[in-house]
Structure 1
Amino acid sequence: MKTRKHNSQARYRWLAKPLLSHAYRTWLINNQSLTARLQQRYLDFYVAPLTVNFLKPIHDEAAPLNVSADKIVLVRDVLLYGGQRPVVFAHSILPRKSLRGVWHGLGKLGNKPLGATLFANPRVKRTTLSYKKLSPNHTLYHHAVKYLTTKPASLWARRSVFSLNCATIMVTEVFLPNILLP
């Protein structure tokens, strides 16, 4: 029984380093704006909005945001495209209290990149990146592979929390295999 509890907790643990991430490593560890980096790489970069809904956070999202797992948060899912292929699935969550003040419009970005908004303000603070190799038993894996023709055995993701005054937002970026294509 003790082993099960440990395995269950390990399933939700995010890492301080992207161990054995190989080809994805350079994408994962760069702590600059992913949007800016993708815009430099792809002349045809664009954001395709998928969903914006009020939902409960995924099990491993509540604690880093200091919200209760049963609280409703705003969830925004988008695909970032480059080379006319989806290269990143981005998942952002904002506690309701963060939708006031300076970030009141973040739920209405549409096809505008969130990264451009966050990195444009020098007062926005970002936590250290954390990493996870998502397996098919993780909710974000299922959300991301919906848009792929071939489903990989796993996907690498990184996440961090951005804050400004008392407002916070967690951004998780799931790197799709297309990011490795030339």
Structure 2
Amino acid sequence: MSSLIGIRLPLTTLYANQWRPQSHILTSDLPEPWRSWLLDRGSLTQRLMRRYPGGFEVQLIRQRWARPTPSERHCLDIGQREMANIREVLLMGDGVPRVFARSVLPHSTLIGANRCLLHLKNKPLGAFLFGNPAMERGEIEIAPLPVSQLNAHLPHRYDEQIGWGRRSLFYLGHRPLSVCEVFLPSLFE
């Protein structure tokens, strides 16, 4: 297996099919300091709250109904025409964006008690997921990503920096939703 360190990325989008299952990546191929964040299967919300006590917040960028990207549809195993509620947020620590997160909630997942996910606004999705005893988490997928593709959502402009992201399927009552988290370089400043 070739190492991911030093990989040169074409200008791709966050949504391209470049995700690799954690089981297909050598832990040593993941650079520090990203490694522990990428591999942690616990609540990212809780971890950020511990790191930024009193300074953690969720900033909603947008939430809308749309068709997921081909990569997201494949990950969720849903049809081309199925709509999803797509939510993009910045996870802030001490007033600085530390993580960009995108969740894709298929229409078929948002039934019954799960409908409350449509009304999170600036509340963390992780608190709901990890507080739900019926929640199951699938395998983590990992990808190096050009952070500049997120510049439109960030107060600080990135040029050629690479961030690392992880994507997971979560299941609520056996119904899937996808969560993608991109750890920004500012997390390590």
For Structure 1 versus Structure 2, the TM-score category normalised by the shorter chain is: 0.7 to 0.9
Match of 2:56 among 28, 34, 45: 45
Which ranges of structure 1 fall in alignment gaps of 5 or more residues? 1-6
Residues 118-171 of structure 1: CA distance to partner in whole angstroms, max 9, x if unpaired?
Answer: 0001221000111011237xxxx62x3321423142221001011122422110
Q: Quote the Cα distance in structure 2 between the aligned partners of 1:58 and 1:21.
A: 28
Does residue 94 (structure 1) correspond to residue 105 (structure 2)? The answer is yes
Does residue 118 (structure 1) correspond to residue 123 (structure 2)? The answer is no
Match of 2:169 among 157, 161, 170: 161
Instruction: Give the number of equivalent residue pairs.
Output: 168
Structure 1 pair 69–148 and aligned structure 2 pair: CA distance change class (3 A): farther
Range that drifts further, 112-121 or 99-108? 99-108
Does residue 71 (structure 1) correspond to residue 98 (structure 2)? The answer is no
Code of the aligned partner of 1:163: Y
Q: Quote the Cα distance in structure 1 between the aligned partners of 2:177 and 2:61.
A: 18
Give the percent of matched residue pairs that are identical in Structure 1 and Structure 2.
34
Residues 98-133 of structure 1: CA distance to partner in whole angstroms, max 9, x if unpaired?
Answer: 111121110110110000000001221000111011
TM-score, normalised relative to structure 2: 0.82
Q: Secondary structure at the match of 1:12?
A: coil
Does residue 57 (structure 1) correspond to residue 65 (structure 2)? The answer is no
Match of 2:180 among 150, 172, 175: 172
Q: Secondary structure at the match of 1:91?
A: strand
Does residue 150 (structure 1) correspond to residue 153 (structure 2)? The answer is no
Q: Quote the Cα distance in structure 2 between the aligned partners of 1:175 and 1:148.
A: 15
Structure 2 counterpart of 1:107 = 118
How far does residue 33 in structure 1 lie from its aligned partner after superposition?
0.2
TM-score, normalised relative to structure 1: 0.85
Alpha-carbon contact 1:80-1:90 (below 8 Å) kept? yes
Structure 2 counterpart of 1:31 = 41
Structure 1 pair 58–21 and aligned structure 2 pair: CA distance change class (3 A): farther
Q: Quote the Cα distance in structure 1 between the aligned partners of 2:187 and 2:164.
A: 11
CA RMSD, 1 decimal:
2.0
Structure 2 counterpart of 1:12 = 17
Alpha-carbon contact 1:76-1:107 (below 8 Å) kept? no
Q: Quote the Cα distance in structure 2 between the aligned partners of 1:87 and 1:56.
A: 27
Structure 1 counterpart of 2:6 = none
Q: Quote the Cα distance in structure 1 between the aligned partners of 2:117 and 2:159.
A: 31
Q: Secondary structure at the match of 1:88?
A: strand
